[in-house]
Structure formats: structure tokens, C-alpha cells
Amino acid sequence: MIDAMERKLKMHLILVLLCFVFSASLHAQAPHPWPVKTLRGANINVDITEQDIAHYARDWKANSVRILINDITAEAPPYLPGEQTKKKVFDCIDLCLRYGLYTIFSCSASFENNDKFFGSEGWKTRYAEFWKELARRYSGKGGIAYDLMNEPHDSLARSQWSEYATVLTRAIREIDSVHTIVVEPPDWGWPNGFANLKPTGDRNTVYSFHFYGPMDYTHQRNNGHMRTTEKQWRERVYPGQLEGEYWDKARLNSIVRKAVEFRDRYNVKIWCGEFGAARWAMGADRWVTDFIDVLEKEKIGWAYYAYRDWYPMDMEMDPAARNERTPRSETTFVKLFRSYFALEN
């Protein structure tokens, strides 16, 4: 009788232990999926200060941030990223997570010459190793997503990026099976690039796009960015005739439709990781409002470019000051973004 009771007690203890181990295993591998709440935020660089982030998170109440650093690896063998650069990256991610921001980290290896990168197997191997190092560091933490490459472009990206994005995904998944991965299409991440992108097959991957069209308007081009003449500046008005086409909200919607079609075809999630216009462009506030409205209608989260970074699109600088860096203030752009950040869903 006693033996039978002891056996039952042992079996009960074993079952309890197995349940505990199974539960712990599930908890350890529980996915950190893309947030249900619409992400509304901005891009930053790794030199952002804690004061800046505190203002952004506490006063503006943005819920997310995209950290961008290009050329993370060296351009010559052994192609290793510098320790100081990595420290800046890790410190910036840690800072954003500490303030409760959903943090999307993105980088590239050779932003000015993607063909050079895609033509080097050694370079691609080192880039994958960096992502594995980052995944090891953050595999046990929540609130972060991995944006594998900022704006893949040039000819080799069209033919190689889909396969290489899958390689990077598998490398990360060897370390981290729970965090969301973000993949942009080739052709600078613009929606038309989805025609040259195949999904990686990873179930916790979001597909991102960027948009700055038309570039002559958003970047005030004239043999380079932000070099318009007085006449060109005044003639380039949104909505209106730009680069030989009429641009308005309907035109912006037709561009975003290419990303929506990709989403619907493959039943995946999409996100807009960059967009913006020079703050002094004629009608820039209307362009930004129209584009965000298109995204919001399609329930697409977004990150404006940028918060306290590139001066032409710094939303806190005077929209009327053409090609000037001005003191930061509560501009019309700031009020616009804060109104979106205040939305509940």
C-alpha cells in the first residue's frame, strides 16, 4: 500500500516537473510578434541623446522608433564592424527600449555601392555574423525588430536580395526564434521594388517600404539634393504637376497600392519605414498629411524621416526657412505628428 502511494506521489511530482519545464520552454520561445497597435514614430540616428529620447517618448508620446545606421561593416577585409560603432548601436537600442519604445533597428553594409557588397561573399558573411551577434544580445529581450538592410539597391540587389534576405533570416533564427524580422524590397525600398522581392517564408517577418516621390520635390533636387533655384522652389508645388505627372493624394495612394497588393498576395504584414519631404517644399505639410492618411486608411504603421537628424526633414525646424538650420520649436509639423501619436489604435 505504501509502495503504491509512493509511486503515485513520484508520478505526480514528475508530471508537475514536466509541466513546469514545458511551460518554461514555451515562455522562453514565446514569440514577440509585431505589435497589434499601429506603430507611429520616426527615424533616429545612433548619436541621439537620452534627453532627445525622453522628450520623444514622454512629451510627444510616440510608440516606436527606427534606428538607422548605414555602412555598419568595414569596406575592406576582414569587413568587421568597429567596436565603437557597435557600442553606439547597442547603447542606442538599449536607450530606446528603456523608454518603452518599440524599436526597429536597421543598417546597411555599403550604402553607396550595393553592387560592391553583393559581389563579395566574404563581406556578406561578415554582415550575417554581425546580425547574429546582435540577435544573441537581444534574443531574451522584448520590444525589438530586426530590419535586415536599409534600402537595398543597384543591379545585383534585384537578383540577389531575396535569396540573401532568406540567408540572413536563417542566420538570425539560429539564435533568436522570437523577434520580428523586417525585409525591405530592392530598388531603394520603394513599393515598386516588391516586384523583385519574394517572401522569405519566415512567419514572423514584416515587409517594409520607403517613399519619397517625386524626388525632385521631396529632396528639392537640382544636380544634387536641396539645390533648387528660387524659381524651381516656387514652381514645385504639391498638389500639382511634378516631374511630368500630376501628384496628389490619389497618386500617392496608387504608389502605396503596390505594397498593399504584395501584402494581400502573400498574406503578410507591411510597414512604412521611411517617408518625408523637405520641410520648406511648397505644400510639404499637405504632402505629409496626404501620405500619412493613405497609410492610416490601409492600417499601415509608419516611421517619419526623421527626428532630430537630417536638417531638411527635421520637423522641429522652421518650415519657412529654406535650406537653413533653425532653432527647434513647436512647429506646425510637430503639432501634426503629435496629433497622430495621440491616436489610440
Residue 29 lies in a domain: no
Residue 8 lies in a domain: no
Whether 17 is covered by a domain: the verdict is no
Q: Reply yes or no on whether the pLDDT at 27 is more than 90.
A: no
Q: What is the pTM of this model?
A: 0.91
Q: Give the mean pLDDT of the chain.
A: 92
**Which of 8-12, 150-154, 267-271, 280-284 shows the lowest per-residue confidence on average (mean pLDDT)?**
8-12
Q: Is residue 55 situated within a structural domain? A: yes
309 occurs within a structural domain: yes
Q: Is residue 10 part of a domain?
A: no
> With helix as H, strand as E and coil as C, how does the chain read?
CHHHHHHHHHHHHHHHHHHHHHHHHHHHHCCECCCCCCCEEEEECCCCCHHHHHHHHHHCCCCEEEEEECCCCCCCCCCCCCHHHHHHHHHHHHHHHHCCCEEEEEECCCCCCHHHHHCCHHHHHHHHHHHHHHHHHHCCCCCEEEECCCCCCCHHHHHHHHHHHHHHHHHHHCCCCCEEEEECCCCCCCHHHHHHCCCCCCCCEEEEEEECCCHHHHCCCCCCCCCCCHHHHHHCECCEEECCEEECHHHHHHHHHHHHHHHHHHCCEEEEEEECCCCCCECHHHHHHHHHHHHHHCCCEEEECCCCCCHHHCCCCCCCCCCCCCCCCCCHHHHHHHHHHCCCC
* Structural domain containing residue 245: 34-341
Does 248 map to a domain? yes
Kindly report, residue by residue over 169-212, the tens digit of the pLDDT.
Answer: 999 999 999 999 999 999 999 999 999 999 999 999 999 999 99
**Structural domains of the chain, count:** 1
pLDDT band at 4 (very low <50, low <70, confident <90, very high): low
Check which CATH number belongs to the domain holding 294 and give it. Answer: 3.20.20.80
Percent of the chain having pLDDT more than 70? 91
Residue 5 lies in a domain: no
